[in-house]
């Protein structure tokens, strides 16, 4: 059930909101129970067979949480934390990465003439498993660090793990700021601003998804399917990859905006996930603006525990590269995602090194002007999206070669892509580069004009 589907907008959502706010006048447990059951239904709508998975994972974390928190010595705390790590990462590894690992094993075995083949399983990927795994881990790791207290009851944790607005594509939420919102009575903050902003975020996000991202996708997807990309030269490859860059931005940020809007209609605040990322003046700046909740999660639960920048330049570079590679793998089970992570890791390392040159004190300070830095950053990001979108390395290499003009200029693709595509490319460029983002133009309701008389 997609947020932009008729069954969600005209059936599921109205029923959830009417019952939720009707129950809000009663006790907290009924409200949380309804929201949890509605979220479980939303989850089961995709594949009911996986409903037991999210319930079992939540139950394990609920059981192990107090044991982590109460453990007196570090070894016992680590032992209990490992149960949560095994539960959450084990499920993620099996469903998302098992077949990828099996393919690598089979490939290596074939190189050495080994007959054994690791079985490849026909297993569907549970919806949102990458998000729920990270969110659940943030809960138990924060317990391990003593930064939060165990969930008071199962309903609070179950609602935190399953709450439907962020199920499809985030944002990634954390227990510490989110659980108190579930505990409080939503009527204490129910007012016109939240209602208007909830509708505003959802409608704008829906428009981004349906009117921009999906329209651009209709033009470029046929040219990125199968071997169709082999017809692309300089103009076609740049057109397609720019189109994909804007499609990805408006699709992903659109879903995040819709999630924020849905949260507000329930009296819940979800975090901002995008902040005009294509206006970034450096790769460091880009990762402060793009998928912000993932960036902060990787920083707090991977980069800093690895040592961050505390042990010299080499260790800092190693930690950055490892964090970004694993962040790339989180997006999908393919070497192209891993290399996309490495690609951004390299640019982050170079960005950190360039910052030490203090160009603002030299005759090259003109390079720090917003126009060239934004343009350079955007081009770097677009080249990176080639890896993110490609089915394999051969496709990525061909597209890179085409973008460098090694496969001709392909003037004919000016017409193949149609004038409608180039117009949508202009719309995407204008919105991404010059327009304020959704969070910068939040609605502040004003009084009726007639009341002034």
445: helix, coil or strand? coil
What are the backbone angles phi and psi of residue 271, rounded to the nearest 5°? -75, 155
CA distance 317 to 420: 44
From the list 331, 344, 369, 407, the catalytic residue is 331
CA distance 447 to 125: 48
Record the tokens describing residue 327, joined without a space.
Answer: 């962040």
The residues, any chain, with a CB within 8 Å of residue 81's CB and separated by 6 or more, are 64, 68, 140, 141, 143, 144
255: helix, coil or strand? helix
CA distance 279 to 276: 6
The vertex-205 CA angle with 433 and 135, nearest 5°, equals: 100
Assign residue 26 a region (left: φ > 0; alpha: ψ between -120 and 50; beta: otherwise).
beta
Query: Comparing C-alpha atoms, which of 420, 374, 375, 425 is closest to residue 241?
Result: 425
Give the Cβ contact number of residue 229 at 10 Å: 20
Q: Return the H-helix or E-strand segment holding 308.
A: none
Tokens 């126009």 -> residue: 371
What 8-state DSSP symbol labels residue 440? G
CA distance 445 to 276: 24
Record the tokens describing residue 2, joined without a space.
Answer: 């997609």
- To the query of whether residue 352 is one of the catalytic residues in this protein, the response is no
Cis check: omega of the bond before 167, within 30 degrees of 0: no
Query: Comparing C-alpha atoms, which of 147, 148, 138 is closest to residue 85?
Result: 138
| Sign of the torsion angle spanned by Cα atoms 367, 368, 374, 378 | positive
What 8-state DSSP symbol labels residue 448? -
Half-sphere exposure of 334 (CA within 13 A, CB side): 14
Query: Comparing C-alpha atoms, which of 129, 153, 149 is closest to residue 139?
Result: 149
Residues known to be catalytic: 331
């Amino acid at each position: 059930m997609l947020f932009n589907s008729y069954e969600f907008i005209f059936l599921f959502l109205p029923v959830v909101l009417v019952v939720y706010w009707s129950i809000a006048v009663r006790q907290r447990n009924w409200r949380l129970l309804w929201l949890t059951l509605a979220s479980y239904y939303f989850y089961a709508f995709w594949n009911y067979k996986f409903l037991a998975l999210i319930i079992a994972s939540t139950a394990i974390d609920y059981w192990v949480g107090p044991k982590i928190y109460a453990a007196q010595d570090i070894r016992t705390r680590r032992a209990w934390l490992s149960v949560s790590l095994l539960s959450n990462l084990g499920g993620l590894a099996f469903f998302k990465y098992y077949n990828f690992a099996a393919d690598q094993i089979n490939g290596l075995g074939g190189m050495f003439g080994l007959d054994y083949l690791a079985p490849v399983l026909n297993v569907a990927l549970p919806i949102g498993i990458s998000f729920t795994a990270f969110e659940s881990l943030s809960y138990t790791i924060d317990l391990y660090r003593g930064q939060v207290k165990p969930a008071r009851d199962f309903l609070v944790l179950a609602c935190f793990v399953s709450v439907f607005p962020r199920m499809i594509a985030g944002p990634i939420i954390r227990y510490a700021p989110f659980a108190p919102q579930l505990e409080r009575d939503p009527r204490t903050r129910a007012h016109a601003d939240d209602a208007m902003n909830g509708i505003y975020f959802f409608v704008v996000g829906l428009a981004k998804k349906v009117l921009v991202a999906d329209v651009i996708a209709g033009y470029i997807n046929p040219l990125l399917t199968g071997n169709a990309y082999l017809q692309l030269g300089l103009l076609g490859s740049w057109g397609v990859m720019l189109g994909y860059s804007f499609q990805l931005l408006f699709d992903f940020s659109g879903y995040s905006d819709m999630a924020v809007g849905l949260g507000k209609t329930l009296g819940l605040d979800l975090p901002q996930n995008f902040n005009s990322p294509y206006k970034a003046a450096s790769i460091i700046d880009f990762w402060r603006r793009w998928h912000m909740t993932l960036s902060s999660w990787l920083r707090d639960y991977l980069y800093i525990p690895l040592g961050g920048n505390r042990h010299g330049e080499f260790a800092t570079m190693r930690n950055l590269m490892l964090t970004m590679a694993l962040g790339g793998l989180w997006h999908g089970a393919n070497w192209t995602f891993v290399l996309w992570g490495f690609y951004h890791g390299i640019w982050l390392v170079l960005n950190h090194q360039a910052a030490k040159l203090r160009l603002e004190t030299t005759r090259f300070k003109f390079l720090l002007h917003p126009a060239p830095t934004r343009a350079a950053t955007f081009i770097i990001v677009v080249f990176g999206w080639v890896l993110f979108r490609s089915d394999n390395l051969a496709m990525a290499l061909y597209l890179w070669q085409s973008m460098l003009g090694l496969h001709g200029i392909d003037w004919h693709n000016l017409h193949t892509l149609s004038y409608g595509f180039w117009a949508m490319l202009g719309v995407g460029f204008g919105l991404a580069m010059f327009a304020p983002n959704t969070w910068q133009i939040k609605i502040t309701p004003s009084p009726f004009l007639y009341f002034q008389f």
